[in-house]
A and B are shown apart, each in its own frame.
Chain A
Amino acid sequence: MKKVLLSLLIMLPTAFLWSQGVKIGFQSGLEYSSMMELHNLNLQFKSVVPFNTKLVADFPGYWYYQPMIKIAFKKFDAGLEYSYNSTGSRLSGKDYSGEYKLDMRINKKSPGVFIEYYLFSQKNVGFWLYSGGGIMFTSLRVEEHLVVGTISDLNDSYNFKSKNYYYQPGFKLVYPWHLFEFEFNVAYLVQVGGGTLYNEKDKNQVLSNTATGNPIKPEWTGLKIGVTVNYILIKSKLDKSKSRY
């Protein structure tokens, strides 16, 4: 993966020399993930808390933000992307006498590379296949609060980290307009690797499910649906974008 990133970094400036097209873009949309292991951890917390609580948020799909830069070749584009996404959960219980909250906020920062292959176009809309991959750096913050009356009985927080890889196949529809391109993207992110969550202060301290004894890893595998706006920074001499559509 590092080699691929390095190659692209080398390719990028040379693209200017070769007068290939260069685009910058920004993609955003909803990203869904399963997070079953963290969900089960929440259920375990729920069973331990002596009063009834409810999982009011359970790692819902949430916005991802993905800037990218790509070089346009004749039949394909390739580039670098950086995706940021977060989601979370809350175990909650509140009444007149106090409040209990167990919040998990998890995010990932994933730099990667991608390649897009042009298939065909119809009515000025191009159909492309997409494939990407990279590293995912996950951060998890767990906060537990208990307030009884006006007294804070519990106020703990823990930070965990994890590193995994991803592979992301998908497709996109592209509509060009002057120096812009508007895209509709669909991809399915597949998490690769079993990097478990460890305490950022002590790597030997692994987050685990005390009921099963198994260490917990993030589970980012899931669907991504988004839209992209590309700006053509350097137009290719071949001006393929026109010829494509």
Chain B
Amino acid sequence: MKPLVRAIPDGLVVLGLIVYAVPFFWQLLTSFKPEAELLRLPPLLPTRLTLDHYRVVLEHSVIPRALANSLGIASLTTLGALVLGIPAAYAIARFPLPGKSLLLLAIVGSTAFPQIATVSPLYLILRFLGLRDTWLALVLAHTSFALPLTIWLLAGFIREIPPALEESAAVDGASTTQTLGQVVLPLLAPGLASTALLTFLFSWNEFLFAYTFTATEASRTVPVALALFPGVYEVPWGDIAAASMLASLPPILIVLVFQRHLVRGLLAGALRE
């Protein structure tokens, strides 16, 4: 195999990598470029680097508030999906349930629901409940896709754990909750981490629900604030670049620090039957 791909010259691979990296790093560079040099190209490289755009974004825009909203909403969504999803996944993996295959099909099917189809009924429901422009509205809306994903992933991870330990716990007289909490959860930790990271990421990135159910900076998330980033006379490209980088911070951290868990979750989501 190795000789096979050597047929592609090293130089071509390096070139491909560089071209692929350009969109991200160009925006990163833009976020540090002085305002006056933004629209002057060439030269490609700025004469000096500045933190002005970050200062503007952090002190005079809604982005800090949006970051806090996103952090809160994504954390609560992840927490809620895990609290509801862990027992459900455990039941699906280990207990005889009536109509289980139909249940699984419904859960997998609902992960494929297009948001554009559920956005109008959810809008009316949330308006009826008086929840428009609140964190709770988005936590509920995000749970609609986070929960089926969580159940699906966790059920698979639980099936990988050998049931012998749980059986001996049951023989020793442990209740279902004790077994789940003290035997299964510790073994499930890596799977939980993968599931939580994916759920957090999807909630952080979500745009359509967040755009529709929010109205002010009280609940606008980062993707919405970025899409609506205001310009007075002309588009503030440097500020937008800085805001983009701030909006990408959690994904960047997750990719760099928790890469193994993230990939495990990604593969499990795609591969499990």
Are A and B part of the same complex?
Answer: no
